[in-house]
Structure 1
Amino acid sequence: MIDLGSTTWLEIRHGEAWLGGAPVLHDINLDLRLGESTTVLGPNGAGKSCLVKLIDRSLHPIVQDQAYLHLFGRSSVNLWQLRQRLGIVSTPMEERIPGAITALELVLAGFFGSTRLGHDQNPTDRQRIRARHVLEQLNLQSISDQPYGQLSDGQRRRLLMARALVHEPDVLVLDEPSRALDLRGCHQLMHTLSALCRHGTTLVQVTHRIDTIIPEMKRVLFLQKGRIVGDGTPAEMLTSTKLSALYDTPVAVVEAHGFRQVFPA
């Protein structure tokens, strides 16, 4: 059984991972706690998506002395149990969604860990009520009968979040959630993330974009060349000096209403 009382939901010690015959993560030491929404920030190629793969168990760390990865207090977890506590939204998942599936069916498929409802997958009345509630929560009820392939990028991203939220997970991990979104879609996404934080969902946002970090984030990690090179509060980490070093380019940070934007320095 998963330890339901653990406040540290992810614990990694001396984590190293390889992908395609090359090392992608090096000596990762990390604790992530419930109630502490965190942004993992870094340039393209830093290893951010590989960290997500470690979390969703599609990438496994190298076995070595004193190295381990614990999810919700356990080194070995049942994937179905894990799905009840951890929601993941990533680009590979988005690319597997059939274009003809309706928004409501996709959210219902989340109960079965699939991307469409199979012949033997029959949602209960309670599950249908829950799915519609989540669509309303994310302001997607008006598109519930529309095919996935006809939705905007912003609607698709929020719909995948709805699918991940049907189980009411403790933690929602988002890999580059603002990818390909226009200004309106990006603002809608940030509004949704803020609302989720306020209602008790612990978020992990993996991104290279400083301007999408919501004020509710409590912690920022810097990832660079597969290593964690910084860890602190947004006020400590999102400075001109530290961001210039992370991205290896001079930038100036401007802050307004709890959000930050960067400009060439």
Structure 2
Amino acid sequence: LLDSVSLAIREGENIAILGPNGAGKSSLIRAITREYYPSRRGEDVTFRFRGQDRWDAFDLRSHIGIVSGDLQHTFTRGISGREVVLSGFFSSIGLFFSHEVTGAMEEKADEILAFLGVAHLADRLMLEISSGEARRLLIGRALVHDPGTLLLDEPTNSLDLAALHAFRATLRRIARSGTGIILVTHNLHDIIPEIARVILMRDGAIRMDGRKAEVLTDEAIGGLFCVPVHVVSEGGYYYATGY
């Protein structure tokens, strides 16, 4: 799945992992989230987070928040926006009778809903809102423990232009608040101006890793996606044209 990937990310760093479908991006994310465990015969392969290679999964919640398409699919049910955010305290899909929601949790959830601009969705059901609105609620769920890093796997899939605009504004607000962003995507236009480092992946391997302006070039992006492109920059965003 992954070919000799060696990668170090500093806590609080804003990076994008860019590559075509099948590049190995999701496999790398599943290694980070411990769904996949790295191993290769005859070699010592390690995965280390904050200096440790063994963690209690619950302890990780205060360090890294995760939003993915798979997670959103599990929330396509009659759960309110506030319940979605509150469920982050319990790493559950919604709330259950065994969960004791405290006043402090309620206050934190309302604070996050307001910060993300989705307070109006607090009482709406996930079945009744758009994909973009649901995505922002899931980000709220990931932020309840004030993680140092927010990891987003293909976050703009299925979003229209208006939803993409709102989502990028939300992501910029989070980055400016000091939370590190790891953005995994196949779209150049997902990369917000606050992201300074870009990693290119293809065929399970890292092809390039460096400063955004040095990586997002015609040659590098054209070679990554195997199409001739012209990369343009506007307002801090990058776009591929000419294909």
1:61-80, Cα deviation, whole Å (9 max, x unpaired): 11552311001211100100
Amino acid at match of 1:204: I
- Show structure 1 runs of 5+ residues with no match: 1-23
Could you say which residue in structure 1 is the equivalent of 2:169? 191
| SS of residue matched to 1:30 | coil
Could you say which residue in structure 2 is the equivalent of 1:60? 37
Amino acid at match of 1:186: L
Could you say which residue in structure 2 is the equivalent of 1:28? 5
Q: Distance in 2 between matches of 1:207 and 1:38?
A: 11
Higher RCO, 1 vs 2 (CA within 8 Å, ≥6 residues apart): 2
Could you say which residue in structure 2 is the equivalent of 1:38? 15
| Change beyond 3 A, Cα 1:80–1:238 | same
Could you say which residue in structure 2 is the equivalent of 1:261? 239
Could you say which residue in structure 2 is the equivalent of 1:47? 24
Q: Distance in 1 between matches of 2:194 and 2:76?
A: 33
Q: CA deviation at 1:124?
A: 0.5
Q: CA deviation at 1:35?
A: 2.5
TM alignment of 1:60-99, pairs within 5 A:
60-64=37-41, 65-99=43-77
- Show structure 2 runs of 5+ residues with no match: none
Count residues in correspondence: 242
Q: Distance in 2 between matches of 1:242 and 1:143?
A: 41
Decide which structure has greater strand share.
1
Could you say which residue in structure 2 is the equivalent of 1:240? 218
TM alignment of 1:160-175, pairs within 5 A:
160-175=138-153
| SS of residue matched to 1:27 | coil
Moved over 3 A (4+): none
1:64-103, Cα deviation, whole Å (9 max, x unpaired): 5231100121110010000111100011111111410000
| SS of residue matched to 2:20 | coil
TM alignment of 1:66-215, pairs within 5 A:
66-215=44-193
Q: Distance in 2 between matches of 1:35 and 1:95?
A: 28
On the 8 A contact 1:99/1:150 being kept in 2, the answer is: no
Q: CA deviation at 1:156?
A: 0.6
Amino acid at match of 2:133: Q
How high is the TM-score relative to the length of structure 1? Answer: 0.89
TM alignment of 1:218-229, pairs within 5 A:
218-229=196-207
Q: Distance in 2 between matches of 1:137 and 1:34?
A: 22
Out of 89-98 and 63-72, give the one that drifted further.
63-72
Q: CA deviation at 1:222?
A: 0.4
Q: CA RMSD in A?
A: 1.0
Q: Distance in 1 between matches of 2:139 and 2:23?
A: 24
